Structure 1
């Protein structure tokens, strides 16, 4: 308008200011001039017109705010149609709520399965609110129970609102006065509560409450959609993971099939255990050892120097009891090798990586392959057994050494890999609780695997095996066979021999030893003639008197000869006086302390158990035979070399 119109003080000026959407300060200036220039009547009319203009101006401002809010609501709805995860979606809604009604704070309380609310996506918070803080009561739960919006202009002073200590503490810390809580419903589902608040006392208009309710309705739909989308994504991820697992399992099963075919091919082609073990170790990416029931290595792809053999033995017992693989330590597996109830040994496996289900299946397949291989070897031994039995029987029937027949047998034995010019021992084995057929099969396999011979005579299993210590070989065979049969085995042993012509003599001595164990009520034990002391001397065909004396008191005789001492004489006096050191001292005409010192030396030479009754008897007999030999040969009882 022109300058003349600006200075006019009439109703038309008010209308023009209103049409131009002039600021309220222009209306106040108009009223101020009217008080100075107009009559009271004109001033009154002008004041009424300005008040009406104020109302129109406020209505226009509310309409503009409503239009902006509706525009924000439309923008929010458009944003909610985009793909957002739940957290991002909640933040979008709280930011819009805070801006639309000019609030200081907005957040969501999502409903948990136990009925509590967890706070999320807080906007405008000034204290340390931890996302996921739980609220078990307060205005949010009251709004949910009402099923309608709950608002208060001054929360802490309003007694009509449910107060909860935890909620009140948070509201007091934030300085909140007015609070609006709008429940979130979608169909029959209750999702939570939308909160908005200001830090000053404020009364919300129905339009503002309606806008927040509209946003809450949009948010409920979007939250439900986001949760379903998240569930769908989780299901897709799980399906993808299941597919990957299925493909991995299928690939591993194909590898297992290839490994099984390769090992069976090796088995059918007659490959040895070392070759099969290497193929199994390659399939499992592991170091592998096959051990017999006693823990000795039969085949191995590499050494495992850090293994504790005693601990491995204990773990193998547990594995056989469970009939399943057992973990030893952190990275080693022990698996039994079984054929029915028979223990064929165990596998020690150290994988480069942890064994999964398919790998454990492969391990079981490897163990079955080893069991089959061992049984095939045993079957080969049983197949060859008649030929070897005939050779053994021919050896037992040899009339003498050096004959044409003996030389012919040596050639035949050499053809099957047996050399009886090397030290060998003979065992007479008798199972004491049945299982005779199984014992024969085991003996055939053992003889085949140790370059020996087996035959059966008069109910006893005869084994001719390489070795220099008949007692040690007998203990080993007795222990192994007893473990297979599950009951005791009696073993008589003889040897060593070094010629095919010795076999008959060794057989006779082994049988005598077996019979002696029976007479002595020692069935289930093992012994050689050397283990029977003086009785062994009587049973022996060789009558090795010097050997008997040497085994009983040889160290004492040697000590006397080298040091010109009287330990032998002291021992004779000691036994002659009823094992009394003081009476022996009187008989020897020496001080008792001298006898005590000599007996201590005897203990050092013969061991701490030399006074045990059976040992003492052998010592006394050896001393008597020694003195008798000295008298007969030299005419005086002096110490002589053995």
Structure 2
């Protein structure tokens, strides 16, 4: 109702403004106009009541529109959250939407770190400088404590003065630095646990409405689901990547295992097809891409594919002992790897590898597989050698059999058996008999078998002695070589006698007996631990020898003097004989030779040059005198044979006997000018030395 003075201003006018969604100011203008126009108090009261109702409806409509806008923004945010993001991008989206949704100055998200009893800022939007990514705060302080305890949103219009909050200096300093007043925190929950908090803050005092709190709570729920989904996707992606890596590693391992298997099969095939150790080592070195060396159990080199310069033998020995004891060791400082060559518990040797590049696990496995292949080859070689040694030993026993012992083997048959074993008896061979002076014989027997195989010879054992038949013509050199190698191995002296050479199966037994007599002679002469052959024993060797090689003895004792006389037509041999017959007096020798004493002295000097400075020592002088007598007797017998017998040995009348064969003149000789012998005097005049 209205009175006439209000010119139609009534409740209907208020409804018209409400229908037009007029702002609240127009409602105030309408009331003031009614007062100016003189409306009655009843009308003014009615209009005021209508205005209040209209403003209430207007506010309700505004809240509904705001709620609809918020819900619309929330729906848009939910739609955006369904898009795949990485975690950092998702958190930036959530903080940005939260800030815009409530038109606040700042928003950030923190995650709990229960192990450290703190929470840390993972992302922030609208912050200045105080609140930074990674900032840590106590877990049970500030708004976070309220939210964590209640699992519900909590807000304050002004943070610092609010006594409901458990303040911490570190948090309060950040709030002051950022200039924050009103703050709200909503939990990020997944299932029954809270893993983080979404914060919004305004730099003005602000009372958040229930709709705003509800809106932020809904955003927190959506954000928690999206975060957990992204985390799950990240974990799934990480697991997929890890599975892919595992698959790739498994393929690589499978490829490596196949390669190892192929290489191992190839090495074993080489062993089974009869390849030698060097071929096997070369194949393993190619597969391992390095230089390989194989040593036996005593550290001796068996084969190598190259040099290993700078090898520290002390470190190698320690590493080899550790390897055989089952204690794995990495490479030596110089990059050398050591692998044991074993068969069960038997130590067969050691592999040394120096790779061109660092060795990985597969390389280490391949090295041990190569060591296994080498062990198999060494065992096969040993088995073959044992079987072959038996045959070779039987052959040597037949060669050493006495000619009277049945059954007698024809030499041709023995030679043919030897050829099948790569022993050529038609070539010169020597017999060496070695007797270890103390200690166990086992190591010596093993060495003898190995040495005989290396030298392409034969071995046997008789009466505690090692008997060897070795190719060559130098019995003394062979005996010295055996002593030089066997004595250090056993650690005690070895007495060695040698004889030969022989070039036929028949004389092998006689050479063995001669070498054995040399061994006994060394023992009798106090030469235990030394070596000798019949030639080295001088006239004792002549007596001990089966063939009594007088010519060899003469050549060894005075051969250079005889050759000098034959080449220069001198008579140093006669001078030497006269010197000894005169008791070692150059003066009496000169009288017997009818020459000047200086001539004898010069001849003795020449003899010293030919025979060496020790020819006048008692032992050597005895051999020289014996050789002179044997030489004289030999030529006497030869002349008798040439002249038809002993009765025709004298010279015919009117005939000079002439010089003896081999450059020797008769004792008296013919005089030349100056009272010298015919040829000796002429030669002395020719070179001015009397020799």
TM-score, normalization by structure 2: 0.63
**Which residue matches 1:572?**
none
What is the correspondence of 1:560-571 to structure 2 with a 5 Å cutoff? none
Shift of 1:385: 1.6
Structure 2 match to 1:559 = none
- Closer/same/farther in 2, CA of residues 311 and 58 from structure 1, 3 Å limit: same
How far 1:162 moved relative to its partner?
1.2
* Higher mean C-alpha displacement, 71-80 vs 346-355: 346-355
- The aligned residue for residue 276 of structure 1 is 280
Q: Which runs of 5+ in 2 are unaligned?
A: 1-7, 404-409, 503-507, 545-612, 625-691
- Using the TM superposition, name which of 152-161 and 344-353 deviates more: 344-353
- 1:116 to 1:323, Cα distance in 2 relative to 1, 3 A: closer
In structure 2, relative to structure 1, the CA distance for the partners of 1:289 and 1:373 (3 Å cut) is: same
**How far apart, CA to CA, are the structure 2 residues paired with 1:270 and 1:127?**
81
Shift of 1:271: 0.9
Match of 2:123 in 1: 121
Distance 1:148 1:476, change over 3 A: farther
Residues 441-482 of structure 1: CA deviation (Å, up to 9, x unaligned) = 5542343134343211123444566895867754644565xx
C-alpha distance in 1 between matches for 2:524 and 2:223: 99
Residues 1:90 and 1:475: Cα distance change in structure 2 (over 3 Å)? farther
User: Please, which runs of 5 or more residues in structure 1 have no aligned partner?
Assistant: 1-7, 400-404, 481-487, 521-526, 531-535, 544-622, 635-642
- Choose from 489, 492, 495 the match for 2:494: 492
Alignment of structure 1 residues 242-641 onto 2, 5 Å: 242-305=246-309, 307-322=311-326, 326-329=330-333, 331-351=335-355, 354-390=358-394, 392-393=396-397, 416-417=421-422, 427-429=434-436, 432=439, 436=442, 440-441=445-446, 443-463=448-468, 468=477, 474=483, 476-477=485-486, 490=492, 492-494=494-496, 499-500=501-502, 505-506=514-515, 527-529=529-531
Name the CA shift for 1:426/1:151 in 2 (closer, same or farther; >3 Å).
farther
Deviation at 1:373, TM superposition (A): 0.8
Distance apart, 1:506 and its partner CA: 4.7
Could you say what secondary structure the match of 1:157 adopts?
Answer: coil
CA contact (8 A) 1:430 1:489 kept: no
Aligned CA distance change for structure 1 residues 32 and 461 (closer, same or farther; 3 Å): farther
Q: Distance in 1 between matches of 2:327 and 2:436?
A: 30
Partners of 2:97 and 2:396 lie apart in 1 by 103
Q: Post-superposition shift, 1:348? A: 1.7
**What is the rounded CA distance, in whole Å, between the counterparts of 1:96 and 1:426 in structure 2?**
105
Distance in 2 of aligned mates of 1:266 and 1:111:
65
Instruction: Report SS of the residue matched to 1:202.
Output: coil
The Cα shift of 1:194 comes to 1.7
Instruction: Check the 8 A contact 1:287/1:302 in 2, yes or no.
Output: yes
Deviates more, 1:318-327 or 1:493-502: 493-502
CA distance in 2, matches of 1:624, 1:393: 42
Distance 1:514 1:245, change over 3 A: farther
**What SS does structure 2 have at the residue aligned with 1:270?**
coil
Partner of 1:95: 96
| Maintained 8 Å contact 1:378/1:441 | no
Determine the structure 2 residue equivalent to 1:181. Answer: 185
Q: In structure 2, what is the Cα distance between the partners aligned to 1:629 and 1:510?
A: 20
Contact 1:86/1:227 (<8 A) preserved: yes
Give the TM-score normalised by the residue count of structure 1: 0.67
Give the structure 2 partner of residue 151 of structure 1.
155
* Higher Cα Rg, which structure: 2
1:83 aligns with 2:87: no
Do the aligned residues in 2 keep the contact of 1:429 with 1:489 (CA within 8 Å)?
no
C-alpha distance 173-386 of structure 1, shift in aligned 2 (>3 A) = same
> Aligned partners of 2:616 and 2:204: how far apart in 1?
122
Residues 371 and 15 of structure 1: is their aligned pair in 2 closer, same or farther, counting only changes over 3 Å?
A: same
Aligned to 1:66: 67
Q: Which moved more, 1:138-147 or 1:64-73?
A: 138-147
Q: Compared with structure 1, are the counterparts of its residues 210 and 238 closer, same or farther at alpha carbon in structure 2 (3 Å cutoff)?
A: same
**Alignment partners' CA distance in 2, 1:476 and 1:304:** 24
CA distance in 2: counterparts of 1:291 and 1:27, whole angstroms = 112
Alignment-derived partner of residue 569 in structure 1:
none
Secondary structure of 2:109's aligned partner: strand
Greater Cα offset, 95-104 or 278-287: 278-287
- Superposed CA offset, 1:389-410 (max 9, x none): 35555676799xxxxx999989
Deviation at 1:516, TM superposition (A): 11
Q: Deviations over 1:8-61 (max 9, x none)?
A: 998777666655556677778x58995997559799778887776665554444
Residue equivalent to 2:563? none
Contact kept, 8 Å, 2:107 with 2:201, in 1: the verdict is: yes
Q: Is the 8 A contact 2:522 2:530 kept in 1?
A: yes
Report the equivalent of 2:572.
none
Picking from 170, 173, 176, the partner of 1:172 is 176
Change (3 A) 1:217 1:390: same
Indicate yes or no: 2:141 matched with 1:136: no
Distance 1:173 1:541 in 2: 116
Q: Classify the secondary structure of the residue corresponding to 2:146.
A: helix
Structure 2 CA distance for partners of 1:303 and 1:111, relative to 1, 3 Å:
same
Q: In the alignment, is the contact (CA less than 8 A) between 2:483 and 2:531 conserved in 1?
A: no
Instruction: Tell me, in whole angstroms, the C-alpha distance in 2 between the residues paired with 1:166 and 1:515.
Output: 105
